Structure 1
């Protein structure tokens, strides 16, 4: 097998990019990398980039004079899980609820890992979970 380093980027879709900027930038505190009005907003999360697109803007084939990125807009809510040290999950719950974000679910898995689920403004399922969920080191 050729080597693989991990996940470089993950994409979610939102119609309201301003609301997405508020959630991912202000509430979660991700660093803005770049934005294009009406098309996308990208954030850095450690070694991963979180891409938020307006799906309609990514369904069109690329123009001949642009980069040849194929269409890839999704339909419906997606899911993204942030890896969070177990000891920091209570702080995340406090930060999210303090920002008015409702906790959809907060529970411990049979292996002792904890997951906290919320919805972003576009309805995507956003999880904050201890790495133990997948037997990863913290």
Structure 2
């Protein structure tokens, strides 16, 4: 049986790519890989890629990549180490980011929920929320 590998990239949509770039680089520490003015900005996120598209521009299609887009808020969870929960909480608050939920899961995992400038629901979660060992997520 064929099985898909790990997620290579994930995306959200934002009308204001400048605000998205400032947020994802300044608050979450991601590195910009590439940017096409008014269409998208792509970031390095650990060993993966995080994409932010302008939904109006990606609905146009016409190239080798099928048209796509979304209305409303998306959701993505970024991994954090269990020993970094307090530091991430303090960092987000210092950056003026409102934490919508700070949740300790019954299984021992922890999640911090907040929004990007476009209103997408973002989460920093420890691998334990899905009963995954940190070594599997971050390496030994």
Q: Same fold (TM over 0.5)?
A: yes
- Whether contact under 8 Å (2:61, 2:68) holds in the other structure is no
For 1:89 and 1:20, the matched residues in 2 are separated by 23
* Pairing 1:82–2:81 present: no
Under a length normalisation based on structure 1, what TM-score does the superposition of the two structures give? 0.94
- Tell me which residue corresponds to 1:10: 10
Runs of 4+ in 1 over 2 A off after TM superposition: none
Question: How far 1:110 sits from its partner (Å)?
Answer: 1.4
Q: 5 Å matches for 1:84-123?
A: 84-123=80-119
Gaps of 5+ in 1: none
SS in 2 for 1:92: helix
* Pairing 1:131–2:134 present: no
SS in 1 for 2:91: helix
For 2:61 and 2:82, the matched residues in 1 are separated by 42
SS in 2 for 1:10: strand
Q: 5 Å matches for 1:1-80?
A: 1-62=1-62, 66=63, 68-80=64-76
For 1:96 and 1:45, the matched residues in 2 are separated by 17
RMSD: 0.9
Under a length normalisation based on structure 2, what TM-score does the superposition of the two structures give? 0.92
For 1:21 and 1:92, the matched residues in 2 are separated by 19
Gaps of 5+ in 2: 135-140
**Count of aligned pairs:** 134
